Structure 1
């Protein structure tokens, strides 16, 4: 009896070992990670992150993003370390060079190795100089991740600010909205404020000291930059020989956000009407309104046909292009 048990026990042990080894080898693998879109780009910083949907049946010990000025960055390049485990994580990239293209990938490391997400490319803020006026401008709209490559380049549209408001989240194109007006300079939330008051402003009472210069309250521009004045926009317009995109600034037809219907409009109507708009705030006031640059193009020509300054209600959501002080 004893001799019969030995082969049985030995067989069971070997079988268990083989099955355990096979299951272990099949179950442990690289994690699955995706890379978040790069946002909040500035001259020297940006934000990204990732999402780990599967840990490979092995604990994710380290996660973050790796980035480089060359494609296919790895953890041997610059990295952020943003915790461990499954789920979302957010990464802050700092110490970047201005006007430089970077490549970013999220990573997740477990006992098997390091997995990478898709590669995303972005370019930090730079400047452009108008050779006629000598004015130095940012090379893109606030909120844009790249310089415009065409008049209708959606990746270069950027954010839409209500006049006088800071960067609190309301400027994002699809932020939620509210019809409750703010009684202060800082609403305390990131909702786009709809307005039906007599002044058509997001703030009640109105305040004229907002957005006035580099030290102005709620100035959304980077350090050393501010909103251009009406006069500075007019000077810029006088140097245009063709149109908005063909100018030094390469302005895009980024549309606007309405404070009445809470819709984003890029153009209107039939072939005989205006097809694409660009609206850009200035810091200059016009009684209860504020001046903005507006340009539009026809449906068929795709060329700027009119560009001028006009005053508009402050509750509108328009683009912002900053100028160096």
Structure 2
């Protein structure tokens, strides 16, 4: 993104000011410019998370922690100042006094048009309303945060260009655009992003990590690269791969990897002010891309004898690095669509904490020993876990919390289609009804057991993709497909 700035005394002293909003691709073309490219991003008071609005709020889903109420006795902290964190080298939010000076003589902003005609080109970019985070008044409301709290802890001072021009105050949970200014150049260590390690880049011994050196901190980056270990919190004293210099995207291949350990990775960048690391540690495992299991009817809960080639990937989708199957246990293949109704994609079905699995072609197999009622105070035991008994090598059912993590941001599953589009390729394989064991809604119901019992001894927690995507619970006598995880 290319920003533009000018030198001006408009705030009462010589400062550099941006002439476009933070996150905006361009300066506004008019005071009522309604384009997303000119509006930039929006922030709630003293919150680091920014939001884009282009037909909908990003990030946004049922799990996103949009803050509907803020009441705290604090000005905007430097650690949360988006100007400081996204631009560095001394950029910051203006104070309420600086906005007051900008609005005062000789500028004499008496309306939004005057503010737009000034050297700052401030325009009406709208707001995201507190209760819902929905865009309001783009092209009509010109409101910009200052870094200063109002006397009430639930409000912050802002420049308000709507129906005049003045410094007013607004509910802190409102998200407003921001303008940035700078007093002096402040050098600091560079800024580098988290590391992305796509599953597609992994082999049995290597993985490719990609990161971005976003800000040089006012001093040239002399070295950047990746560092990793198997114990956590890696630094440049761990295994290190030096790659290049300067800002921008960089990638490197981690070598000498093996199946089993969890690898922890951070990017680093070095300039004259010091060394910086990724904000978060990325982790991954080397997982078998495919492995064959010869199932025998009656052994480990297998309902029929057949050989299956399973596929797995490394994913942090459950909250930490793990290997996940990308097909249901007992399935010959990954599903081809979210509503794939084939037996080959659906795999086998299990009642809660019961080892016996069931295949369903035109009828249930085995047809005998169906349990129509289960009530017991127990999570799924290791001895009955079909993943453990049929795959071995540490494979098991996911817990309730692991499904919660998978369904939450950044995956943002809001429907069965979202879950199918994920790296796990979950689909609607149907269920065997608890009362009679008959197949119900293959291609319609996407429900998967966790290993965790519900508070009521007759129910177990499930991932429920039917009618949305959320945690739910179901009668233990229902037979569901399962996915397997290994850490």
Into which bin does the TM-score normalised by the smaller protein fall? 0.3 to 0.5
TM-score (norm 2): 0.30
Higher relative contact order (CA closer than 8 Å, sequence separation 6+): 1
TM-score (norm 1): 0.43
